[in-house]
Copies of this chain bind each other. A is one copy, B any other.
Amino acid sequence: MSEPQATPHPYYPRDLSLPGYRPNRVPLSELLGLFFGLVAIVLIGTWILAGRYNKPVADRIVICWFVACGFIHCVLEGYFAANHETLVGGGSYLAEMWKEYGHGDSRYLTSDPFVVCMETITAVVDGPLSFAAAIAHLTGSRHRYPLQLVVSLCQLYGDTLYMCIEYKEGFVHGEFGHPLHFWFYFVFLNLFWIVVPLLLIIQAYRALVEGTNGDIRRGSAKKKK
């Protein structure tokens, strides 16, 4: 068996070939701080904005969720979809974030066809629709529950497949059981996009079946269009 000339790297499986790999220069704390800091700013900003629309707390939480999703899908996952081929040697903040996440799932560093297609759909479809769902909730439009159902179902389907395939492949693309890489990055962060969409699908489905999808915009209550 001939072995390719290996570039040393910290990813799994250990014999993975990652030519052109360039180690991260930004410290872990800075990468995670930047990501969660930006998400926090997005959440706080949206929370305040939704408050100005006099939205009840439950609606404000849903709006914050969709804006955060739109931000993550379009920016982080959009960057991946556009740059997956050069990520492993990249030095930008976003490339380094993906190289950090790659500890939990190296498929992100090898342009795995499923991951690339799923992330492209997430960035191009789920991202803009997340913002649309947030706006629909903010304005109380009749589109809010249909959009919530569509976005959440896409997220649930994509993420379920993502986790199932890695399970089927025996969790070989990360260090199984590693507290940060496996449990936090791969399990915890991804479970978010299973549990929350599932709850939002149930909520939207019920509202649509029970016919409580009326237009609640000021001055247009019960108006058909």
* Complex contact A224–B208 (CB within 8 A): no
User: A188-225: contact bitstring with B at CB < 8 Å (1 yes, 0 no)?
Assistant: 00000000000001000100111101100000000011
Q: Across the interface, which residues of B come within 8 angstroms of A142, CB to CB?
A: 209-211
Q: Which residue of B lies closest to A120 (CB)?
A: B164
Ordered by A's residue number, 24 sampled pairs between the chains whose C-beta atoms are within 8 Å are A1-B1, A113-B165, A113-B168, A114-B165, A117-B161, A120-B164, A121-B157, A121-B160, A121-B161, A121-B164, A142-B209, A142-B210, A142-B211, A143-B209, A145-B208, A146-B149, A146-B205, A149-B150, A153-B153, A153-B157, A208-B213, A209-B213, A210-B225, A211-B214
Q: A161-B161, A211-B211 are in contact. List 15 more A-B contacts (CB 8 A).
A: A113-B165, A113-B168, A113-B169, A114-B161, A114-B165, A116-B168, A117-B165, A118-B161, A121-B160, A121-B161, A121-B164, A150-B153, A150-B201, A150-B205, A208-B213
